[in-house]
Amino acid sequence: MHQHCKRPAGLAMEVQLLHSTISPSRPLYFVATRLTPRRPVFVRCCLSSADNGGRGGENSGTYGTPQAAQQRKAYPFDEIEPRWQLYWEENRTFRTPDEVDMSKPKCYILDMFPYPSGAGLHVGHPLGYTATDILSRYKRMKGFNVLHPMGWDAFGLPAEQYAIETGTHPKVTTMHNIRRFRSQLKSLGFSYDWDREISTTEPKYYKWTQWIFLQLLKKGLAYQAEVPVNWCPALGTVLANEEVINGVSERGSHPVIRKPMRQWMLKITAYADRLLEDLEELEWPESIKEMQRNWIGRSEGAEVEFGILDSDGSELGVKLSVYTTRPDTIFGVTYLVAAPEHSLLYSIISKEQLKHVEKYSELAARKSELERTELQKKKTGVFSGSYAKNPATGALIPIWIADYVLGSYGTGAIMAVPAHDFRDHEFALKYQIPIIKVVKPFEASHVLDEPYTGDGFAINSSNQLINLDINGLSCKEAASKVINWLESSSHGKKKVNYKLRDWLFARQRYWGEPFPIIFLDDTGEIVPLPENELPVTLPELDDFTPTGTGEPPLTRATSWVKTIDPISHRPARRETNTMPQWAGSCWYYLRFMDPNNSTALVEKSKERYWGPVDIYVGGAEHSVLHLLYARFWHKVLYDIGVVSTKEPFHCLINQGLILGQIEYTAYKDKDGKFVSADSDCNPSDHIQENISAEKVAKVGDFHVLKDNPNIRLIARAYKMSKSRGNVINPDDVISEYGADSLRLYEMFMGPLRDSKSWSTGGIEGVHRFLARTWRLIVGSPLPTGLYKDGTVVTNDEPTVDQFQSLHRCIAKVSEEIQGTRFNTGISAMMEFINAAYKWDRYPKSVIEPFVLLLSPYAPHMAEELWSRLGHSKSLAYEHFPVARTEYLSDSKIVLPVQINGKTRATIMVDETCSEDEAFRLASSDEKLSKFLLGKTIKKRIYVPRRILNVILETQKARS
């Protein structure tokens, strides 16, 4: 690459590389920062490999803004945007000081921080980031202390898998990906405080992740247990649930089985009730709250104990406990089902059925929990060879082993009531097990051949021998009576149960946080490391591949594994599992409050001021696990006095997806003729053909062929993915339209929370709006394509119409930003510009407030216009305009106001305005108040709808 730049002789320039990504579609610019701190000069550099003799040419640079580029652009965004990004960075414009004025209101606005993948951003990612940036800029201008940080959730599987495949250390690829993400985010002009940037892979950060784990251990919330995991024999490793698809490994499609292994667990179940109860205090979407409620799955019922007998009716001395939410149906229990992995499995299997049960259990171990519990799957099972005694009826009922029951839920066994449960009913029909109805519906509208699962009256539910009769009682009354009988007869007890399981908190992976745990060699005792030993840093490894034995890759770091207990000085070995990726993201929002604190996770006064997060924006895909885990950790930190709030995130907003551009599909018959998509023909009998958008027209609600409107098409937008080839790179969009256009378009596409499809035509529309705004304020370009300095605004007094247009726009934009209805806020600004194009002059007192309105949405253009309007500082902390109510009504008139007979200004008043109200408005007017301040008023002369004249006792009003 050769650099060809012209400059005045003898002018020394300090040249910085501004864009690190070089492509023919985005020329490389260097910026000379020594010329002027406010308006740096851009020097374009040749991308051609030919030297061209220094004579310039198509790709050679010119001193100043490239003329050819200007002529091709609707406005000079390619000059404006890098200039202001550099200005913000050099001046640390958006830095939130470590010590802020805590008497001012605060607003903590946070994005769910990203995993920096090698693919970089696509245009779907900036949707939420742009929304939070608009809110952050707005709140700063409203006088709030704003905390708006960014960081990286950088431990995890993707980097390690890439390391295994390429031999590149995950730290190398992670740092490369972070640099790329950071560069892309900066190119969009987001107002992050980059001084607070954090990464979960930094030892100074994960020191405190390890510290939190030690606190969990102290409270008995972290423990080791043998639990079933996804084991892949071919890969020789444990896989996370998300790595298993249809019973095989996502990588390599190898069979995966469930096998018990000793793992670290976190007792999130201890906080289940609080996690449920405190949801009510949060401003979250109700759908997300409901997902968390369902995930926690609190239910009230009974735990019933069934004595186990062999086929001869002899008691085996074992009892099988089951949990049920319907104790009122106990008389309808005709069999029990135990999970294939039940801890008492071998105590209840007969010798005759042992081989059958073992074979069945082996097959069940290859299925994921989702596959096993899917309602549509055919139920399978095998008889255990043993029986249980129904304590209510005294009848012997068979015990079956079936994979639709999970060992991880409840007690790992259920009492089956086939007359009143669909799964049990299907199973009973298949294996010819009796079905006894014990609930009669309140209304006789139930289909007789189907199980009835609703409320009703108990029937066939009486046993005088045990003094239990619930016939005729409602289900609720019957359940209560059965529970009392179970407890009095020692057959069971009342029980609250949860679907929520304790959190499996260990991975047999390298790229993760090490546990601050050692095991003594002589006793195997678990020893937590003292806090002054933190962080336990991750050792360097050259081989990240699975060991094949189930042991983690860290076992290869023998010199790191072998250690000494710092307290007893006895030989020990380190824990070689690592924490899951979720660990670092559980508490990162707290570290942003105090990122450089080396003595505490967060300083108490800073946490009390900044917490909780006021607005948290991210995808709905994190609505359960990440949010649930973070809430759990936060509550633990609350209990030990680290944080002062019960919840981490006050308001949650889930942005919708940006889908790829709409794809159009037509059908052809065997003869090659088009067939309308609304025909009765089966699409599988036809040939599909993709149709380009240019050949498509929309008629009513349907898309049709332009050349043949009778042929309807299938129009569908898909999620962006490499496999579909519909990913839009934001770098390309910025190169062609500018970052402000991309930001504006993503907000204009539709409501923030809705999914919408990308449209190139749509971004061209908002780009034209910005260009019109630019030309309105700056003026038309010169014949060279360049623009004059300054603006075309005047110092004229605005007309009533101009004031009304402005203040209606202010009111609408302010209201819509606060309601996160950004698309309608943009519409209001478009209406203002449309109205302004009809004016013959552009008063500064109207244009300047509009530029401030535009600034949260299109900050680069707004900063440039603000500078051209004569301001020497950034507008980032200017006061956001406030709408004046007198200009929001159509029944307003302009009232001239005189001081001692000389007209000094005009005010807007209602047509029926009283003298006192007119005087009050005049006194509060900025231009008039200086004449009245400290003066004695002799009298007031008021002619309604005509004039207000204020006579002062002073000889002459100050001019």
Q: Which residues contact 342 (CB under 8 A, 6 or more apart)?
A: 401, 407, 412, 413
pLDDT grade, residue 665 (50/70/90)? confident
Work out the number of other CB atoms within 10 angstroms of the CB of residue 61.
Answer: 21
Pairing of strands 198-199, 248-249: unpaired
* 8 A C-beta contact, residue 731 and residue 184: yes
Give me the domains of the chain, ranges plus CATH numbers. Answer: 209-275+503-582 (3.40.50.620), 298-498 (3.90.740.10), 658-726 (no CATH), 759-887 (1.10.730.10), 892-952 (3.10.20.590)
Q: What's the CA angle centered on 663, arms 659 and 665, to 5 degrees?
A: 150
- Separation of alpha carbons 611 and 634, rounded Å: 11
The DSSP 8-state label assigned to residue 554 in this structure reads: G
What percent of the chain shows pLDDT beyond 90? 65
The DSSP 8-state label assigned to residue 784 in this structure reads: T
Section 122-130 average pLDDT = 91
Instruction: With CA atoms as reference, report the closest residue to 599 among 66, 204, 20.
Output: 204
**What tokens were used for 259?**
């096998």
pLDDT grade, residue 725 (50/70/90)? confident
What backbone phi and psi angles, to 5 degrees, belong to 106?
Answer: -120, 160
Three-state secondary structure call for residue 941: strand
pLDDT grade, residue 53 (50/70/90)? very low
Pairing of strands 248-249, 244-245: antiparallel
Section 945-954 average pLDDT = 89
pLDDT of 446: 63
* 8 A C-beta contact, residue 336 and residue 397: yes
pLDDT digits (tens, 9 = 90+) for 675-702: 888 766 566 677 888 888 888 888 888 8
* 8 A C-beta contact, residue 785 and residue 876: no
On the 0-12 / 13-18 / 19+ scale of CB atoms within 10 A, 296 is buried
Work out the number of other CB atoms within 10 angstroms of the CB of residue 810.
Answer: 23
**What tokens were used for 805?**
């247009």
- Separation of alpha carbons 350 and 348, rounded Å: 7
Q: Where are the beta strands (DSSP E) in 455-543?
A: 456-458, 462-463, 468-469, 492-497, 503-504, 517-520, 526-528
Work out the number of other CB atoms within 10 angstroms of the CB of residue 165.
Answer: 10
- Separation of alpha carbons 774 and 796, rounded Å: 20
Please provide the size of the chain in residues.
Answer: 959
Residue 726 C-beta-side C-alpha neighbours within 13 Å: 18
The DSSP 8-state label assigned to residue 655 in this structure reads: -
pTM greater than 0.85: no
The residue written with tokens 């001046």 in the block is 91
pLDDT grade, residue 671 (50/70/90)? confident
Q: What's the CA angle centered on 800, arms 797 and 805, to 5 degrees?
A: 105
pLDDT digits (tens, 9 = 90+) for 215-240: 999 999 999 998 878 888 877 777 76
- Separation of alpha carbons 80 and 465, rounded Å: 90
What's the count of helices (H) and strands (E) in the chain, helices before strands?
27, 42
- Separation of alpha carbons 504 and 242, rounded Å: 14
Omega before 859 within 30 of 0, i.e. cis: no
Instruction: Tell me which of 111-120, 139-148, 306-315, 361-370 is least confident.
Output: 361-370
668 pLDDT higher than 50: yes
**What tokens were used for 214?**
């030690």
